[in-house]
Structure 1
């Protein structure tokens, strides 16, 4: 299945909204009731070590699945993100082991 990198930068003055929605955002990253798997995720930090965005590596069948997943993210719903980019990603170093079930 393909991988996608999501790079999302917060809108100005959204620190309170980010903090209020962080527990729900983090819980959703771990849910598996959608057709994507978040392989890596974490906050981006500014020069003062304050959260200013998010980076995710998502495994999904198609970019459209990532877009749909992000549309339901608590940060998206609360207007935390100002800019979001999604790019295909060819995983090299550190690739997760395949599940041989």
Structure 2
């Protein structure tokens, strides 16, 4: 298994859409039926404390599995992101295995 970091910034003017979809988005991250685990997630905040993006750390076999998962998320389907990256992540500090051991 590998870790992946998803880092996204919202398009201008989509905060109302983000807020309307937030409960569905959060439920999907927890209960999805995909062969992966979302370990860390949360909104990115601008200088005013307003949500303006997302960050997730996901464990999966391949990047393609993560891409298929993200494509089903309400935020992605609604097109709220202006840009995003999905990169393999080498989790060094605070790994889940280290916390459980």
TM-score scaled to structure 1, two decimals? Answer: 0.93
Match of 1:21 in 2: 21
Match of 1:52 in 2: 52
Find the aligned partners of 2:19 and 2:10 in 1 and give their Cα distance: 12
CA RMSD of aligned residues (A): 1.4
Between structures 1 and 2, the one with greater helix share: 2
Gaps of 5+ in 2: none
Pairs within 5 Å for 1:1-101 = 1-97=1-97
Q: How many residue pairs align between the two structures?
A: 99
Could you tell me how far 1:34 is from its partner in structure 2?
0.6
TM-score scaled to structure 2, two decimals? Answer: 0.93
Q: Which runs of 4+ in 1 moved over 6 A?
A: none
Gaps of 5+ in 1: none
Deviations along 1:41-81, whole A, 9 cap, x unmatched? Answer: 00000010100000000001000011111100000111111
